A and B are shown apart, each in its own frame.
Chain A
């Protein structure tokens, strides 16, 4: 018995070393679903809401607006859609595991890309608040000799965010794969006395993986998406307050 733990499947290769993998395709699917959902929810907006759709759309928008206002204060006009995009793409990507598809968040490249965006935003707000000089001066504190450590601290933020999300989701993928393989083997051992092909059915795979999936695919997906967004909000609002 062998279990292969691999990354995303490469679907085709383009020049310049660009590869299109399951990660990309699945993410496009997720984006398409979210875009269609948006179109569907906002298709018939009225000043007096008439359907459930509008109520849901307003609920989501109000929730995002309020969440950003409560946690970051006023003046972050673009952040509700940005955080909503981050949360929805992360959540839907992770939830793809439920459908047996490869979750794009189980690919470090994906989470790293998002973390880089967050890092750039953090730097932007730090520069904006303290100015270039102020930012580099801040790195020298409390002692200039600690500057390298502060610099490491700066870069560890996106890396830790990327690896946290990647780790949590990919762990789910890995553990699911291991459990499935183990249960298939155990089934083979326990039910080998059954005649013919009946012995090859992995009966034990029924049940336990569902419970694991409940944790890894649903709970962990929601929680890690929320954590990723919450950290983004906290880091950026911290970056935009004067030191």
Chain B
């Protein structure tokens, strides 16, 4: 039979050892479990904080960028408006010019045509005059041959031609 303590006994050293063991285990848990885990939890909390603040700064930066781009876009729109406006204006001017030129050209052509017509008319009249003269001469020749004295009639006819010539 091995030697044992009494079932219910109080032994100073045993109690002291129990106290010591508890305190040692406390140290062990504190050093090997709680300290490292608490440290890592703290680090994680810090990291989460930085992530949050980073996200916040990124967000505000994005906000600013958005503002800038919106401004730029607005600017671009006004610029294009201006460009369109000036282009339209130029086109309008050009149109005006082209129409004017065309009008002038048309005017010129009309004038030229008119002068051509006058010239043609004159020419026609001259031709007609020549024809008439010929016809008259022809007529007169026939009359003279058939009838009287050539000399008298000659002078008469000359006179008549003279008169005709003046009147034309």
Contact = CB atoms under 8 A, between A and B. Distances in A.
B135 to A, nearest CB: 127
A35 interface: yes
Interface residues of B, number: 38
B22 interface: yes
Contact of B37 (A27, A34, A45, A85): A45
A153 B18 CA distance: 24
Interface residues of A, number: 55
B152 interface: no
Contact of A85 (B17, B22, B38): B22
B149 interface: no
A52 interface: no
Contacts, number: 144
Contacts of B155: none
B41 A113 contact: no
B5 interface: yes
B3 interface: yes
A218 interface: no
Q: Which of B10, B11, B18, B30 lies at the interface centre, i.e. has the most chain A CB atoms within 10 A of its CB?
A: B18
Interface string A17-59: 1110101100110010011001101100111000000100110
A156 interface: no
Interface of B: 1-11, 13-19, 21-26, 28-30, 32-34, 36-38, 40-41, 43-44, 47
